[in-house]
Structure 1
Amino acid sequence: MTNLQENTTSHQIRIIKEYPADSVAVPLAMRAWMRSNHAGETGAVWIYRGALLALWSPKIRRMAKNHIQSEKRHLVVMDQLVPVESRCRLLMIWKILGAGLGFLSTLFGYKTFCSTISAVESFVEEHYNEQIEFLNDHEGYSDLQLVLKRCCAEEVHHRNDAESGLSGQRGILDKIWVSLVENGSVAAVSIAKII
């Protein structure tokens, strides 16, 4: 059972209770997953921070401003569920890579940004669903499963929002870009689970 951490603000407490993550138990078998969730939500916040630098595109900035709000809430929740000593030790790298991915994708326009978000969020949906399925076989963790389901649903909303900005067939460069983003996501999770 996790207790509210010291220095938690009243705003953060409201978010934690809203999800509700204030009295969630995390099984030992989920620690690596949760560490990767925390790292992933950190990276997601920074993807959108990087995208907010696209001063030339109101559509990109609008989507980034909208999505970053729920990603920040997810990070508050993961901060609650993953003790500081259990977090990925490469968070600064995730921040830099996230900001770089967010900004770089905007340089190629709205469609590339949407492709990036779609690829990332599709991976995140699979990642969260894998954990939700795991918890189906472990009684006593329905509270954690509820939190993960809520986060997952919000990530799916982001994916759907991004996909609404895609039209027509994807070209070869887009397919290569999406493959790079997907493989990067897989590698990031694998690393975050162990470091």
Structure 2
Amino acid sequence: MNPSSTTATLVVRHQVHPQHEQRYETWLHQTIEAASQFPGHLGVDVGRERHGDVLDFTSVLRFDEMQHLQLWLESSARQWLVSQARPWLQDGDNTEIQLGKDFWFAPREADQAPAHWKQVVVSVLVILPLSLLVPVLWRPVFGLAPWLAGYLMSNLLITLSIVVLVVYLFMPLATRALNPWLSADTP
């Protein structure tokens, strides 16, 4: 597969001392707004964790292709923004690029990913209601357009609707809302 046509995800990890939290939050809002102006930008999710005297921020930026992510990553706008925040960052500007997948659970390190059972619970909490609701919402359309109501076409439309809602809306919301539980040190 051509890397330029593959979804690209940038994970940015920053450690911030609590005395700079408000300044960093303002900076983060400005950075998200700036990134959203770049071509191919698909969205940003931010996770926040507190570890003693340090706040860990994990920002997951998604772009439609690697070329667009590179435009943002190498832009003078991002360079200027990072230079503004650098005095507040305890461990610098740590970035990681993932190609070909939009992932929901962005661990700090591979051994710190949420427990598999937690990932299953969150996935069920997101997918089960949609799998019950989406077919009901499509029913009136199938009544008006019987050619869409066939077994293959109706399942294709229902599955596509659920996948799009999970990937772009509900899973990012759920992982953000449940981040403290997902990152808690339970087996």
Question: Which TM-score band applies after superposition, normalised by the shorter structure?
Answer: 0.3 to 0.5
Mark the structure with the bigger radius of gyration: 2
TM-score by length of 2: 0.32
- Tell me which protein shows more strand as a share of its residues: 2
